[in-house]
Amino acid sequence: MDIETKERVDGVDTYYKPIKRLEGWTSRLFWFSAVFSVAVLYSDLIPWRSVQDVPTVAFVAGVILHLGLSLYLRLYLIPLAERKRRKQLLSDSFGVPLTPEQTRAYYNNRLAPSIERLGANVLENAFFSKSICGRMAVNERIRAVCYFIFWFLVVFWRSTPLGLLVIITETVFSGQIIEKLVSLELLRHRNEDLFDELYHEFLHKIDFNSQTGTACVLDAFSAYEATKAAAALKLSTKIFKQYNSELSSEWDEIRRQLAIDTENSNQPME
């Protein structure tokens, strides 16, 4: 979401960095717990009785830590970062400093602070979100298919112990794999719908100063924020950086097609 050649400054990004780190730890703890849940089944094979309880203790500790970090992410860190991002979006749209964090060149349009600028910013957010979600979903689909194939083979292998089958099934159908894919697909789909909706409103030159235009933009804004809150997912920074140049060029073309920078614009953006 860079603008032209100006350097992009994003003070809100500092709130997303701990989310990325903790997501890595929760993923490691998930697989740590999965491995030791299998080890618990075969702990009686350990020749030293003094350490036979170690897999059980490790499994319990891993599960508790994973739960604690997951709740901390979902209930505190992610809502905090999204609240800061929402204030930054409104600050940019209406020229009001709702947050002390400084941002520059995050949104790429030159509309004056107004309800129309809010609509353009949400349109840009929806465009980048649906594009990044689409690329993230490809990787998640491949992972899910591989896990399903593995699970399918385990299920139809008659000599698989029932306890091991239960653990593998629980792992494959856990929130770390299936729920994440479903949430990502829903986030992508809803952002696509939101983008199409706002695109047609700008295409048909809706009067954003009217009550109808204002209501449409506020509805899109609330729908976008509600969708992000429901998904509770952080979009991949790596994919964003990898495709930012390409997506920014596509966004520039969309702006040109919709004449976003000229329609009802009174002054250029700083």
pLDDT in tens, 146-184: 988 988 888 888 788 888 888 888 887 776 788 888 999
pTM metric for this prediction: 0.85
Reported residue count of the chain is: 270
* Predicted local distance difference test score (pLDDT) of residue 65: 94
* Predicted local distance difference test score (pLDDT) of residue 11: 80
Q: Rounded to whole angstroms, what are the CA distances from 47 to 9, 36, 51, 52? A: 59, 17, 9, 8
User: 35 near 58, Cβ under 8 Å?
Assistant: no
Q: Which two tokens stand for residue 92?
A: 């940019």
Parts of the chain with a pLDDT under 70:
1-8, 175, 262-270
* Predicted local distance difference test score (pLDDT) of residue 4: 43
**For every residue of the chain, which 3-state class applies, written as one string?**
CCCCCCCCEEHHHHHCHHHHHHHHHHHHHHHHHHHHHHHHHCHHHCCCHHHCCHHHHHHHHHHHHHHHHHHHHHHHHHHHHHHHHHHHHHHHHHCCCCCCCCEECCCCCCCCCCHHHHHHHHHHHHHHHHHHHHHHHHHHHHHHHHHHHHHHHHHHCCCCCHHHHHHHHHHHCCHHHHHHHHHHHHHHHHHHHHHHHHHHHHHCCCCCCCHHHHHHHHHHHHHHHHHHHHHCCCCCHHHHHHHHHHHHHHHHHHHHHHCCCCCCCCCCCC
* Predicted local distance difference test score (pLDDT) of residue 268: 32
Distance CA 63, CA 30 (A): 7
Q: Rounded to whole angstroms, what are the CA distances from 135 to 79, 86, 130, 208, 243? A: 24, 24, 9, 32, 10
* Predicted local distance difference test score (pLDDT) of residue 262: 61
- Give me the residues paired with residue 9 across strands: 104
